[in-house]
Structure 1
């Protein structure tokens, strides 16, 4: 194990909160069978129970904050499968955030690349420039010139082949104050604008009124990367935008943003639109689609949004659509926010295992709600020469939606 000290020593920060959270763990080991990284390494230090022990020792000054110990914490995907099965109700997500904040950002963190991803206007402009230069045609060749563990290589391989859709908009013909506000985010506002527009189309067809917040980063990558100050700045921006919206509920089509948005807005209802659509599912009618699709359920959709059942309910309303869910814990695609950039080899192992399971379903399309997961999976599909288009489930639903006028005729 390496003994190089990290940037920040735990002796300089209060340890009570981390110790309190760690002491809730009864070391039963029920988290081990559902942990993707433990399944990958079969190493106790790569399990929730092991990481809790590491966090406790670091916080109490019983272990030096070496790069080796830090790596076990940084390998965590934050999938929260462990929280779901924990009989002691350990707040593992909070423990991980607090411990990473204590240690500060990892030295390997690709600050420049993450800074770019957090600026949607700049990213959209660069994507347009890349389209003019036909970057999608030669991105794979360029990526091969970079080291295998380069975050820029992983980012190039995850670059979508098609140009981003136009920014999301709302066409409103009434004067009623929208009670729903959609949060576009950063990467999602560029590469998932089609899904966000689909969400608005579906919500309006179901009778909801929606507005759209400005596009910016919610701070999730900073929060989970130990960059506390930057995460708080993003949270403050979320609060200001929310207050200006005048809405009563906030929505995100990206499950990976929900936890961070809820943390920034305690007491506010922050939802996956799927949850609201499911409450009015009977008012939505869809054209038939004779196709078999593999449904990848992101960890955050299951463990944070908890809308997997609602999503299946909606998809099964499409006549002729055969929806097959990929197996769950301990499986994870490995995207996990910036994890696919910081640990591309590990992320690729987890992704390839996910695609192998998808292949057994013989799908014609692969659906996934989280933009990071979908870009990561699409990169693997491209590298393996598979013929599955990838799509947000809401995009498919909006494409098959029968218009509001025809909905009324069905009623």
Structure 2
């Protein structure tokens, strides 16, 4: 057991910051009903209130940083539903990041696999090799050779159905009086969501914006949320250099999961979901009809970080004949949560299957979701359950139905 500090003894800066954030919590418990991990376990330690108490005790040296305590913190999905209902305005996301940084990355973290995912050039080569050997045909058999809690098993099961072929390009055009925009491709999204990124460019150019594309690399989200502070800061510096070289006035990402990390790296910069800009200019866009029923999955980061769920619905409802229904909430998270689906695949699958059960009640012909990690995770469940719903980024559907601009 760590020695208990004197009541007024100074704490190191990071620990003092954690204690300060934790002290804002009034322990009211309003966060419990909206926490997906508390719903899963019905364990106080798996709730925001419980995790805040753990973080406070760790910061003050009242408990040892055991693997058991660390696991409760690592189970957190970072959905931030708790922040939206907190009457005391506790900065739970910041507290979680600071506490994980104090503890450092967990021993179970699949570093080799995550390093691959964070390197788009290498990942593209590996995906191409997988295509040549028809990995999709026997990935399920290979996955069964790993234990159910293996990150490699989860990675195989979440392998996309087809090797991506789209490469994002922005057609040069004068910007007029509109701000110059830069699109951040990310790492996995730069490959598996390239079609959505190209769709965003098409739609933005249709309303008169000039869009450039930054180099593809990891924003640092997976490191930041795992407590790998040094690696996260290196990624943030990479973001700042790329942004400075872009000459743009606003930065965009079609992946809501990247927005919070990009905003953290670029304080004072306008970092947006393209949906927000497109909704502002929705009257200039016209779409071809589509008689189809779709289920819209709203990622936690789109609702709680980007806060563009209403804007997205506004755009989709401009497609004549499209019947759009959002998934009932709860569930509050599909379980993907960055690298969570790799580190805790069994827990992630429970949350995903609950999400798909809710989607099934809508009897959709298509499933839409704007976060690539969520969509790959949901696709794996759709495949395993033999469902017949193709999935798509909402921007891809909007671009496909785009008719003309006035």
CA–CA separation in structure 1 for the residues paired with 2:161 and 2:280: 35
Residues 293 and 323 in structure 1, CA contact (< 8 A), matched pair in contact too: yes
Answering whether residue 212 of structure 2 is matched by residue 211 of structure 1, we say yes
Q: Residue 403 of structure 2: SS of its match in structure 1?
A: coil
After TM superposition, the structure 1 = structure 2 runs for residues 3-18 of structure 1, keeping only pairs within 5 Å, are 14-18=14-18
CA–CA separation in structure 1 for the residues paired with 2:320 and 2:279: 17
Shift of the alpha carbon at 1:165?
A: 2.7
CA–CA separation in structure 2 for the residues paired with 1:122 and 1:345: 28
1:320 aligned residue: 321
1:78 aligned residue: 78
CA–CA separation in structure 2 for the residues paired with 1:318 and 1:222: 39
Higher mean Cα deviation, 160-169 or 95-104? 160-169
Q: CA RMSD in A?
A: 1.3
CA–CA separation in structure 2 for the residues paired with 1:245 and 1:143: 42
Residues 116 and 122 in structure 2, CA contact (< 8 A), matched pair in contact too: yes
Q: Residue 239 of structure 2: SS of its match in structure 1?
A: helix
**Structure 1-normalised TM-score?**
0.95
Residues 186 and 219 in structure 2, CA contact (< 8 A), matched pair in contact too: yes
2:255 aligned residue: 254
Query: Which runs of no fewer than 5 residues in structure 2 stay unpaired?
Result: 2-10
2:4 aligned residue: none
Residues 58 and 64 in structure 1, CA contact (< 8 A), matched pair in contact too: yes
Shift of the alpha carbon at 1:207?
A: 1.1
Distance 1:330 1:289, change over 3 A: closer
After TM superposition, the structure 1 = structure 2 runs for residues 146-157 of structure 1, keeping only pairs within 5 Å, are 146-157=146-157
After TM superposition, the structure 1 = structure 2 runs for residues 129-278 of structure 1, keeping only pairs within 5 Å, are 129-174=129-174, 179-278=180-279
Q: Residue 181 of structure 1: SS of its match in structure 2?
A: strand
1:353 aligned residue: 354
Higher mean Cα deviation, 141-150 or 344-353? 141-150
Shift of the alpha carbon at 1:329?
A: 4.0
2:61 aligned residue: 61
1:126 aligned residue: 126
2:302 aligned residue: 301
CA–CA separation in structure 2 for the residues paired with 1:275 and 1:84: 20
Query: Which runs of no fewer than 5 residues in structure 1 stay unpaired?
Result: 4-10
Distance 1:126 1:59, change over 3 A: same
Q: Residue 402 of structure 1: SS of its match in structure 2?
A: strand
Shift of the alpha carbon at 1:330?
A: 4.9
Corresponding residue pairs, total: 396
Q: Residue 286 of structure 2: SS of its match in structure 1?
A: coil
Shift of the alpha carbon at 1:12?
A: 7.7
CA–CA separation in structure 2 for the residues paired with 1:199 and 1:330: 28
Residues 297 and 326 in structure 1, CA contact (< 8 A), matched pair in contact too: yes
**Structure 2-normalised TM-score?**
0.96
Residues 331 and 351 in structure 2, CA contact (< 8 A), matched pair in contact too: no
Answering whether residue 85 of structure 2 is matched by residue 90 of structure 1, we say no
CA–CA separation in structure 2 for the residues paired with 1:300 and 1:163: 26
CA–CA separation in structure 1 for the residues paired with 2:43 and 2:343: 20
Residues 14 and 98 in structure 2, CA contact (< 8 A), matched pair in contact too: no
Shift of the alpha carbon at 1:171?
A: 1.2
What are the superposed Cα offsets for residues 227-275 of structure 1, whole Å, 9 maximum, x if unpaired?
Answer: 0000000000000000000001000000000000000000000000000
